Amino acid sequence: MSASTEQIDDILEKKYDAGFVTDIEEEYAPPGLSEDIVAFISNKKQEPEWLLEWRLKAYRRWLEMKEPTWAKVSYPKIDYQEMCYYAAPKTNEDAPKSLDEVDPELLATYEKLGIPLHEREILAGVAVDAVFDSVSVATTFRDKLAEVGVIFMPFSEAVKEHPELIRKYLGSVVPVSDNFFSALNSAVFSDGSVVYVPKGVRCPMELSTYFRINAANTGQFERTLIVADEGSYVSYLEGCTAPMRDENQLHAAVVELVAHKDAQIKYSTVQNWYPGDENGKGGIFNFVTKRGLCEGARSKISWTQVETGSAITWKYPSCILRGDDSIGEFYSVALSNHRQQADTGTKMIHLGKNTRSTIISKGISAGHGHQTYRGGVKISRGATNARNYTQCDSLLIGDKCAAHTVPYVDVRNSSSKLEHEATTSRIGEDQLFYCRQRGLSEEDAVSLIVNGFAKQVLKELPMEFAVEAQKLLGVSLEGAVG
């Protein structure tokens, strides 16, 4: 331990020697990744030493790891030394002063999604302080949560205010060296959210990253940690439902959930990062590690995701069902249009007795889109009477897209019951014609049929999210037919 502390001291000193002090005043770290940069980020966030050490350990592990190649996605090689790993949120001076300065195409999309005006301003990065009182919204919200003892704050604040919580749980579900991208995230994560729901508390509102204004500009490596203590309940929504105008950019997030005895966590995502243009230029590379631990008996973790954005999606929200009678659920709609590629699914790891898992995956491919469902169900020796139900359906639109299904099953206990159902269908000319004969335009017809296909998953989303997700599916499919 002392050796590594010394090392860190060395680094810190070295950093200062190298004249980083002036750089700290800058908004960006220089491109490239090194121990210096990791230390720079940690320093910038005024983190305690243990966390810097944790990051450095992750960085060193990452150096030894190889980028995974098993997923069915292809993309140009990422040069990790060309990227910037720290960029402070844009200052208000750089931001557009009003919606008049924002790309009209972007605004047209917001319009179609029915996003309220003030929300559009936030999404487009307009300096909002003058426009509406985000601070008071955030504050009222926080007071209400504090009354029942719920902690909900940015990661960097939680590190300062609740270090014991972070130390206990950080990396407990997704170990630093779990995979290449989680190791990278552990080394350089910028910010994220921390939620703690105390024993027996039912969180009085849906927690959403939208309400926390400071999340609007969080970086590409965010980290989320949610802990639900015994008998508690929390529903968490993440994602902005508006496209981000970015060049090919790496987004490698890590989400860890811990549900103690009798606790429930419901985690909903609507992901609509910029998917690139019709020819596959630009777009986000979305490599995300999400995992929940059903630690206690009768705990339950439910993932719901609607993935319509990103050029590349690599994402497998999973559940480790350790507690007896615990339940894991995964509901997913993933859509790939144009040149988008998605390789997504889940892992359900049954360790406890009478554990149950449900997987409902709906993949939609259009244009030249590629879609892979990759799922793993593992029933370990001790998981007596475990049950799994898997359903994965693919919908094809047009004749240049593709759908693949890769289910892995590993069963080591003969008392378990597993079911797997899979279908592949095409939006039929007959369905489209039927809808049009009743007066619907072709685009509305596609949107209607796709939403019907995805309904089983959409109904798992909180109401207002479901409405946005529905519209989003329609907007994302524009130009997919005809």
Partner 1 sequence: MLKIENLHVEVDGKPILKGIDLEVGVGQVHALMGPNGSGKSTLSYVLAGRDGYDVTKGRVLYKGKDLLEMAPELRAAEGLFLGFQYPVAIPGVSNIYFLKAALNAIRAHRGEEPLDAIDFMKLSKEKAALVELPDELTKRAVNDGFSGGEKKRNEIFQMAILEPSLAVLDETDSGLDIDALKVVAKGVNAMRSPERSMLVITHYQRLLDHIVPDVVHVLIDGRIVRSGDKDLAKQLEEKGYSEVRDAPQL
Contact residues for partner 1, defined by CB under 8 A: 428-431, 433-442, 444, 448-449, 451-456
Nearest residue to 295 via CA among 317, 316, 264, 269: 264
For residues 111 and 410, which CB has a smaller minimum distance to partner 1 in the complex?
111
Q: How far is the CB of 422 from partner 1 (least distance, A)?
A: 15
CB of 358 to partner 1, least distance (A): 18
Q: Indicate the residue among 236 and 465 with the shorter CB distance to partner 1.
A: 465
Nearer to partner 1, 255 or 454 (CB): 454
Q: For residues 53 and 443, which CB has a smaller minimum distance to partner 1 in the complex?
A: 443
Q: Least distance in Å: CB of 458 to partner 1?
A: 9
Least CB distance to partner 1 at residue 441 (A): 5
Judge contact between 154 and 211, C-beta under 8 A: no
Q: Which structure tokens are listed for 11?
A: 């680094």
Question: Which one, 428 or 479, has the nearer CB to partner 1?
Answer: 428
Q: Please give the single-letter amino acid code of residue 241.
A: T
**Please, what is the minimum distance in Å from the beta carbon of residue 229 to partner 1?**
37
In the complex, least distance from residue 431 CB atom to partner 1, rounded to whole angstroms: 5
Which CB atom, from 73 or from 360, has the smaller least distance to partner 1? Answer: 360
What's the closest the beta carbon of residue 118 comes to partner 1, in angstroms?
A: 26
Least CB distance from residue 371 to partner 1, whole Å?
A: 18
Task: Report CA 301 to chain centroid distance, whole Å.
Answer: 15
The residue (of 413 and 451) whose beta carbon lies closer to partner 1 is 451
Measured from the Cβ of residue 62, the count of other Cβ atoms closer than 10 Å reads 23
* Smallest separation (angstroms) from partner 1 to the CB of 64: 47
* Residue number, 133 or 442, with CB nearest to partner 1: 442
**Residue with smaller CB distance to partner 1, 84 or 440:** 440
Taking the C-alpha atoms of residue 157 and residue 160, their distance in angstroms, rounded to an integer, is 5
Closest CB 359 distance from partner 1, rounded Å = 18
Residue 381 or 438: the one with the smaller Cβ distance to partner 1 is 438
Q: Count of CB atoms within 10 A of residue 279's CB? A: 9
Closest CA to 479 of 370, 351, 382, 339: 339
